[in-house]
Structure 1
Amino acid sequence: MAKPTLLYACPTVPAAPWVAAFKTAMPDLELRVWPEIGDPAEIDYAFVWHPPLGLFPQLTALRAVFSLGAGVERLLDHAEIPAGMPLIRMVEPSLGADMAIYVTMQVLHYHRRMPEFARNQRQRAWVALDVPMARDRKVGILGYGQLGALCAERLSAFGFALSVWSRSPKDAAGLRVFTGRDRLEDFLAESEILVCLLPLTEDTSGILNAKAFAAMPPGSYLINVGRGPHVVEQDLLAALASGQIAHATLDVFAQEPLAEDHPFWRHDQVTVTPHVAARTQPQTAALMITDNIRRHRNGECLLNLVDRSLGY
């Protein structure tokens, strides 16, 4: 059997760490780095992030597409990728671990009322604010997939009153579980600190809107590490202005990079991070991708295959 050929087509991500990682993970892999792709008819697999237009029609022997990131909505909507082409989303240990650290950090930040202490510091106000016991702090996780389950596990160790919401029934032992759109407002009413970890689909786009914010307890906190279009930005700004939402941490945005004149940059009640809550690490991700390539070549089922009917 001829050795497999993988094309690295991630123009916005430096290739050198990935080249080294793939060489270690699968020495017999032929790796080509866009735009030096050689004969496109020889490429079996593509590893992509923001792939250039005009690429996929050239790859006539392509067998599967691997995403560098966990989100695959741009690939699902990509006009040049054939409808039946297998798409594999990124699921690897460091991605989940990093996300759990980020989410835990932000939840603790809000639980201990750190934005208010920071405001008091700017005003030179020595005020000891009361902080509820963790068991009395209601934390909601919107989206209970692999990342949501890991974040819930980490937060449970602190004793928070955790609840989760998912579109379909999930087994979440020890947690209050809300399922389906008809239970969304009930879930939000119990979310003083709301963490959004949803995939982006037609059903979840704009799910964090004025109605959702109004359903939350007054003075709640929002942490969005799902996708930018989950949030209706003008509705969030209005909820912040009214005090319905006390503060928001946003790691993802409808337009990235965030425009220089966007109001989030200078908003006292918004923390902006540039889509860094969970970064794919080449050393561990290359192992997952090459294992999938071996499985595919041996006629085994691909792992983390995207269900196009669900959009993730």
Structure 2
Amino acid sequence: MALLLCITQWDVAPWLDRLRRLAPGRDIRAWPDVGDPADITYAAVWKQPPGLLASFPNLRGIVSLGAGVDHVLSDATFPDVPLGRVVDGNLTTRMSEWVVMHALIHLRHQRDYDLLQRQKLWREIMPSPAAGELRVGVMGLGVLGLDAIRKLKIIGFDVAGWSRTPKAIDGIRTYGGDELDAFLARTDLLVSLLPLTPETRGMLNRSLFEKLARDGVLGAPVLMNAGRGGLQVETDIVACLDEGVLRAATLDVFETEPLPEGSPLWSHPAVTVTPHNSAISDEDAVGRFVLRQIERHERGLPFDAPVDRSRHY
């Protein structure tokens, strides 16, 4: 019985060392050094090669090393075993830090002040709205979205949320399902924390951007996406920025990662790029969480954060 660690976009060696340190009595291997495929009973993965998981005849469970699982479910050969994802308090807090920080950067025109500093210009940018004047809309009200929306509310932003199924949050206006257009119409700054599903793929596109509020204090809407790269249509983002449909965009996830050198997002003056690190968390905590999921399953218990295949999250 062995745990296979398969990571294709990060350095696997520190993760292998970490898991072996945290579980010294467990057989832990790192792809591509699989050994006998029949030995593999669990897999902890991040963007594993298509078809790999189906090659293990005794696989009993899979844990994604991140909050997203589309990289697993997009594999047509994905075996019929339980799938779990990481839900970690530190990860949740770090995501909320990213959301609040960049919302404040847009509110206080910090990117414009950075430009003035480089030009050595002492100038105040007006108007300078208060947080309560900026209508922030959070799409996706799972663990990450709920935490972010509550912390935005504490800062003083005028916050609302939208999710596919209606949810009630004390003191916050929420919209569900077919109320999306009404949600967009009252939103100046859109924060996307949605999972990637067949229904949400490409959802952040021109049609959606054109439904955002046009009367906000920033002059035009702002997009922030830290959900999944597949949610956004990047050609639409660039075109809408150039045409004034969007004022700015802050993006942590991309259609192709790492972001290709030739992407216009790198140099667009209205775009802030972060390298998919919005919810970076304590790696030892993630390692302990993964090992706890396997231990639970071995005792006949479900994963703490099981994924519903029909919903893709």
TM bin (shorter chain): over 0.9
Separation in structure 1 between the aligned mates of residue 90 and residue 200 of structure 2, nearest angstrom = 26
| Residues 1:213 and 2:214 are matched in the alignment | no
Structure 2, unaligned stretches of length 5 or more? 215-219
Partner of 2:270: 269
Where does residue 193 of structure 1 map in the other structure?
189
Partner of residue 91 from structure 1, selected from 87, 90, 111: 87
- For 1:99-129, what per-residue CA distance to the aligned partner results, in whole angstroms no more than 9, with x for missing partners? 1111111001001111232344455543322
Does the C-alpha gap of structure 1 residues 74 and 11 become closer, same or farther in structure 2, counting only changes over 3 Å? Answer: closer
Q: Which amino acid aligns with 2:95?
A: M
Find the aligned partners of 2:54 and 2:248 in 1 and give their Cα distance: 45
Secondary structure of 2:250's aligned partner = strand
The answer to whether the 8 A contact 1:93-1:284 is kept is no
Which residue pairs with 2:217 in the alignment? none
Residue 216 of structure 1 deviates from its aligned partner by 1.3
The answer as to whether partners of 2:94 and 2:281 remain within 8 angstroms in 1 is no
Paired position in structure 2 for 1:127: 123
Q: Is the 8 A contact 2:48 2:71 kept in 1?
A: no
Q: Distance in 1 between matches of 2:286 and 2:248?
A: 34
Conserved? CA contact 2:46–2:64, under 8 Å: yes
The answer to whether residue 49 in structure 2 is matched with residue 48 in structure 1 is no
CA deviation after TM superposition for structure 1 residue 229, in Å? 2.2
Change (3 A) 1:208 1:55: closer
Q: Secondary structure at the match of 2:272?
A: strand
Once structures 1 and 2 are overlaid, which stretch shifts more, 90-99 or 115-124?
115-124
Structure 1 residues 269 and 287, CA, compared in 2 at 3 Å: closer, same or farther?
same
Code of the residue aligned with 2:65 in structure 1: it is L
| Cα-to-partner distance string for 1:253-305 (whole Å, 9 max, x where unaligned) | 11112222211111111111221112253200111111111111111122211
Residues 1:140 and 1:292: Cα distance change in structure 2 (over 3 Å): same
**2:249 aligned with 1:248:** yes
Question: Which residue does 2:231 correspond to in 1?
Answer: 230
Residue deviations 1:188-235 (CA, integer Å, cap 9, x gap): 122211110000111111222222211212311111111122222222
Q: CA RMSD in A?
A: 1.8
SS of the equivalent of 1:309 reads: coil
Partner of 1:17: 14
- In the alignment, is the contact (CA less than 8 A) between 1:217 and 1:244 conserved in 2? no
Give 2:268's aligned amino acid.
H
Distance 2:225 2:67 in 1: 15
3-state SS of paired residue (2:77): coil
Q: Percent identity?
A: 40
User: Does the alignment pair 1:58 with 2:55?
Assistant: yes
Quick check: 1:32 aligned with 2:29? yes
TM-score, normalized by length of structure 2?
0.92
1:212 partner letter: L
The equivalent residue for 1:292 is: 293
| Kept in 1: contact 2:175–2:183 (CA 8 A) | yes
Aligned residue identity for 1:234:
T
Check whether the contact 2:51–2:78 (CA below 8 A) recurs between aligned residues. Answer: no
Deviates further, 275-284 or 134-143: 275-284
SS where residue 148 of structure 1 aligns? helix
Distance in 2 (alpha carbons) for counterparts of 1:260 and 1:185? 35
Q: Is the 8 A contact 1:11 1:34 kept in 2?
A: no
**How many aligned positions are there?**
307
For residue 222 of structure 2, give the secondary structure of its aligned residue in structure 1.
strand
